[in-house]
Amino acid sequence: MKVRYIYIILSLLLVILAVLNIVLGSVRIPLAAIFDMLTGCDGGNPTWQVIVMQSRVPQCVTALFCGAALSAAGLMLQTTLANPLAGPSILGITSGSSLGVAIVALTTGCSFSAAGEIMGITATVSGALIGAFVILAIILFLSTIVRSNTMLLIAGMMVGYIATSLISILNFFATAEGVHSYTIWGLGSFSGVSLSQMPFFVTAVSLGLLMAVLLIKPLNALLLGANYAKNIGVNVRRVRCLLLIATGLLSAIVTAFCGPVSFIGLAVPHVARLIVGSSNHNVLMPVTILTGASIALACNLICLLPGNAGVLPLNAVTPFFGAPVVIYVIVSQKRMRFYN
């Protein structure tokens, strides 16, 4: 009963935030005109049409899917590694994507942040995917040797450091334009997915989210640890592989299009646990996905606050919401009960 209310409230919140994301912006557009455009009627003003249909709506959809993807990835990692501080960036997956993007950006010098350069974007996405999955392959290999989840986490962090340091070395040799466009991408933004790329982006993220939902039952079993999970019939090695693939896909796609977005993957699962008051994934996974989408939309709204002066970088906003949540969870012993 209580769970149903949580779903209803979160869905309402999500809808309100999505509408605000489309309505608010540096250019004032009447609500009626936006409604006309969205329902397919002629909106009248062609400038408004461009702003709403090619900027605000894609950005809103991107934020929604990004938030959902990163949060689901974070939850899967926290449960798999039995570690409250795990997130998509922790295993070096995001760093791997960043390295892939850096190699593309800095060697070709193509400015992928500018919309319309389809070749540049395709190369970026391929770079991020290849980077993420190379790191993932290394992690999968390590996970066959390293039994302890904590050790695997540390190994992942080390692999991430190596990727980061390679990026720094690449930056040292790169052209000024290359470094500039890479830096812009590194600030994070939900405006990186154009209308033509939207179907690919949405399909890829949905696939990852579907995997996350299908893995709910073994995720619950993994709360008891690998040995207990195996004893209640879970093929632990296969499930771990599937979890890492789902996590890798979700983080790589998001990183490729939006840059290395920080804190959402780490903090949202904690927010969801506080809302639900349980670590049962039957409820926790859907609530995490809904909360992640809502929080990403809220962060995007905050980015728009400067109005005509421009847009705040996403990674300047997410820590303001994420870091206090993580600190609260660690400091509050009562909240830590989810891990004991």
Q: Which is nearer to another protein, 58 or 269 (CB)?
A: 269
Residues that bind another protein (CB under 8 A): 82, 214, 216-217, 220-221, 223-225, 227-228, 230-235, 273, 277-280, 282, 337-340
Q: Under a CB-based contact definition with an 8 Å cutoff, are residues 274 and 166 in contact?
A: no
Q: What single letter denotes the amino acid at residue 125?
A: V
| H-run or E-run covering 139 | helix 118-145
Rounded Cα gap, residues 70 and 11, in angstroms: 18
In whole angstroms, the minimum distance from the beta carbon of 122 to another protein comes to 36
Nearest distance in Å: CB 73, another protein: 19
Find the shortest distance in angstroms from Cβ 170 to another protein: 39
Supply the minimum distance, in Å, between the C-beta of residue 89 and another protein. 21
Name the residue nearer to another protein (CB basis): 195 or 232: 232
The distance of closest approach from Cβ of residue 263 to another protein in the complex, given in angstroms and rounded to an integer, is 22
Query: In this complex, which beta carbon is closest to another protein, that of residue 173 or of residue 339?
Result: 339
Task: Give Dmax (Cα) for the chain.
Answer: 64
Looking at the Cβ atoms of 12 and 237, the one nearer to another protein is: 237
Distance in Å, CB of 205 to another protein, minimum: 22
Q: At what angle do helices 2-23 and 31-38 cross, to 10 degrees?
A: 110
CB nearer to another protein: give 103 or 223.
223
Contact between 129 and 191 under an 8 Å Cβ cutoff? The reply is no
| CA R_g for the chain | 20
Instruction: Compute the CA torsion angle 329, 335, 336, 340 (nearest 10 deg).
Output: -160
Which CB sits closer to another protein, 204 or 329?
329
Which helix (H) or strand (E) is 175 found in, with range?
A: none
Work out how close the CB of 273 gets to another protein at its nearest, in angstroms, rounded to a whole number: 6
19-36 burial, b if ≥16 CB within 10 A, otherwise e?
ebbbebbeeebeeebbeb
- In the bound state with another protein, the residue whose beta carbon lies nearer, of 121 and 219, is 219
| Per-residue tokens: 157 | 């962090």
